[in-house]
Chains A and B, each alone.
Chain A
Amino acid sequence: MTTTAPAAADVRKDSPGAAARDPRRPGRIRRIGLPYLLLLPALFLELLVHLVPMVIGIVMSFKELTQFYIRDWGAAPWSGLRNYRMSVDFDAPVGEALLHSFLVTIAFTVLSVGLCWLIGTTAAVYMQETFRGRGLLRALFLVPYALPVYAAVITWVFMFQHDNGLVNHVLHDQLHLTDKPSFWLIGDNSFYALLTVSVWKGWPFAFLIVMAGLQNIPGELYEAAALDGAGRWQQIRRITLPSLRPVNQVLVLVLFLWTFNDFNTPYVLFGKTAPAAADLISVHIYQASFVTWNFGTGSAMSVLLLLFLLVVTGVYLVLTSRGRRTSDV
């Protein structure tokens, strides 16, 4: 439906060159085909790596796929909705564990995204104007984000060690805050350990995005506000934060999706089986699939997770887009 007007525009703006080079029709066909040709590699890869596997994953969730059928997964018997019923039967062990993992993941994600956003925004606003050492500080702050996940997280694993770690050395030996050295990577403390690492690793991304967003705020706004007698704090509240709204809309969504789906951090921090208090959903599903060799149930859980994320994203976009001008793409 949208093709007629822009196509006409294309012909118009091309006509000086096109008329001289080519007869009209072949040129037009080539021009209409070109965008698809340009998109072809991306389309092929998205199909191969993202979309077809997703469809197969959905098919697998309706199958009784245990290790006996892994060589020829097509031969696995259909199981209807059994995998789904099992996943959401919260009175049985499998469903109960999934629900627990889901709730842990929600609590973790909300706290982590909130803290990452808060720290990142505060730092970016404080560093909006130049001061001595700002460039160095900015580079330093980006280091956690630039470090490969496994290198950064394994350093935290060392710091959280019971006997030879820095955290217990400081809290117990030096500050005497605890009666005896605590365990950080097993038991209830593991939630806070995971949260700490996640925030440490994630906040620079928020910092980076907000910093970029701040550069798009016109300086005249501040000058006008200053002429009106608005102080620094008022300028931040009246100009900076409202101007960041569109940036925040995308930033919070991206942070949410990345944190919710994060596999690398808990996997390197805890290994294949996470402690119950920090049993994030992605590791939980990985465990349900690869450790217990039950791929059908694992797939059903993944599909449920995807549905949840789709709904949340949809609702979020509808709610936050209200009152904003709708822009393309």
Chain B
Amino acid sequence: MSSQHASPMAPPRSFLWSRRIFLTLLTGFVLLPVYVMVSSSLKPLADVTGKFRWLPSGLTLRPYVDIWSTVPLARYFVNSLIVAGVATVASVVIAVFSAYAVSRYDFRGKRVFTVTVLSTQMFPGILFLLPLFLIYVNIGNATGIALFGSRGGLILTYLTFSLPFSIWMLIGYFDSVPRDLDEAALVDGCGPLGALFRVVVPAAVPGIVAVAVYAFMTAWGEVLFASVMTNDTTRTLAVGLQGYSTLNDVYWNQIMAASLVVSVPVVAGFLLLQRYLVAGLTAGAVK
């Protein structure tokens, strides 16, 4: 925290002015699409089919009513919530176990494990899209567990996507929790799992929150696998939102309203928890 005040000396004018100019331009760049999204979602259809207007000719909440009937948005919403929610919880729990093992124990194959897990980050998603599809179909045929087209298959896929980064970040975080703490717990008669849940996890809350936010965003925003692995009943928002533009008319005001509605949960959650994210990254990933 001491670096918050980078220097005891007042910064020179050149620094202040260049900062003002840079940050103003950047704010404009960042906010432009946000403004377009918000303002267009409140426009009547005529405003978004003709020439672009900075200001609506009249404000209307009509798009926010219509989005639910043009496509079954509520169903997609529920699907996304279930998929992203379950994937996040499972991913965090599994990442906590793995990171604890790597951070606190020495065992054969530890380095192989961490390197393999991390290297999956560089896999192009397209390489295992079709094989995974075949695996899910075959598991379904062999055991009767429907993975392809189901939420379960998507949950398994997404939770694995967020695992490598989550494990890596939590290893860094757990390493920063003093070992004396869990050794004291072990001496007091806690088992290794007791030490993990009573000592290490509480001390690593910022890191765990950061990982949860990351896992949820990964699952909420993924497009490629969602578009191949879902059907009409299990479709998520990532695919469902494209339903507004395949019709003869493109209801841009509704698309913008729907985009805003599906963004609110993640953006609000992200901004509320961003303090933890920075703290988690500081202690974990960038150390």
Interface of A with B (CB < 8 Å)?
A: 2-3, 6-7, 10, 13-14, 16-17, 21, 31-32, 34-36, 38-39, 41-43, 45-46, 48-54, 56-57, 60, 73, 119, 122-123, 126-130, 137-152, 154-156, 158-159, 163-166, 168-169, 173, 200, 208-209, 211-220, 222-223, 225-226, 231-233, 235, 240, 246-247, 250, 254, 257, 261, 263-264, 267-268, 281-282, 285-286, 289-290, 295, 298-299, 302-303, 305-306, 309-310, 313, 329
B173 touches A (CB below 8 Å): no
In Å, the complex CA distance between A55 and B19 comes to 50
Contact (Cβ within 8 A) A282 B105: no
Contact (Cβ within 8 A) B95 A158: no
Q: Chain B residue with minimal CB distance to A282?
A: B126
Contact (Cβ within 8 A) B223 A216: no
Beyond the given A46-B163, A309-B122, please list 6 additional residue pairs across the A-B interface where CB-CB is below 8 A. Answer: A35-B105, A42-B97, A49-B156, A128-B4, A219-B5, A268-B223
6 tightest A-B CB contacts, nearest first: A219-B2, A6-B106, A53-B128, A53-B131, A302-B127, A212-B281
Contact (Cβ within 8 A) B114 A306: no
Question: Which of A130, A209, A295 is the one whose CB lies under 8 Å from B5?
Answer: A130
In Å, the complex CA distance between A166 and B29 comes to 13
Give the contacts of B212-253 with A (CB-CB under 8 A): 217, 220-224, 228, 237-238, 241-242, 245, 252
Contact (Cβ within 8 A) A222 B163: no
Q: DSSP class of B's interface residues: helix, strand, loop or mixed?
A: helix
Contact (Cβ within 8 A) B286 A213: yes
Chain B's nearest CB lies how many Å from the CB of A50?
4
Q: A53-B132, A151-B263 are in contact. Are A264 and B124 (CB under 8 A)?
A: no
Of B6-14, B66-74, B197-205, the segment with at least 4 beta carbons within 8 Å of chain A is B6-14
Interface string of B164-205 (1 = CB under 8 A from A): 000110011000000000010011010010000000000000
Question: Which of A123, A173, A215, A309 is the one whose CB lies under 8 Å from B26?
Answer: A123
Q: What would be 12 A-B contacts, judged by CB atoms less than 8 Å apart? A: A13-B183, A14-B186, A35-B110, A36-B107, A38-B100, A45-B163, A49-B160, A139-B274, A148-B237, A223-B7, A233-B15, A289-B130
- Contact count band on B: 35 or more
Contact (Cβ within 8 A) A158 B263: no
Contact (Cβ within 8 A) A306 B122: yes
B58 touches A (CB below 8 Å): no
Q: Which of A2, A16, A48, A268 has its CB near the most chain B CB atoms (within 10 A)?
A: A48
Q: DSSP class of A's interface residues: helix, strand, loop or mixed?
A: helix
In Å, the complex CA distance between A255 and B51 comes to 37
Contact (Cβ within 8 A) A209 B101: no
In Å, the complex CA distance between A74 and B31 comes to 51
Contact (Cβ within 8 A) B5 A46: no
Contact (Cβ within 8 A) B19 A208: no
In Å, the complex CA distance between A285 and B97 comes to 36
In Å, the complex CA distance between A43 and B36 comes to 44
Contact (Cβ within 8 A) B5 A257: no
Contact (Cβ within 8 A) B26 A7: no
Contact (Cβ within 8 A) B285 A250: yes
Contact (Cβ within 8 A) A264 B222: yes
Contact (Cβ within 8 A) A285 B130: no
Q: Which of B3, B5, B18 has its CB near the most chain A CB atoms (within 10 A)?
A: B3
Contact (Cβ within 8 A) A49 B2: no
Contact (Cβ within 8 A) A263 B126: yes
Contacts of B285 in A (CB 8 A): 209, 212, 250
Contact (Cβ within 8 A) A211 B278: yes
Contact (Cβ within 8 A) B125 A261: yes
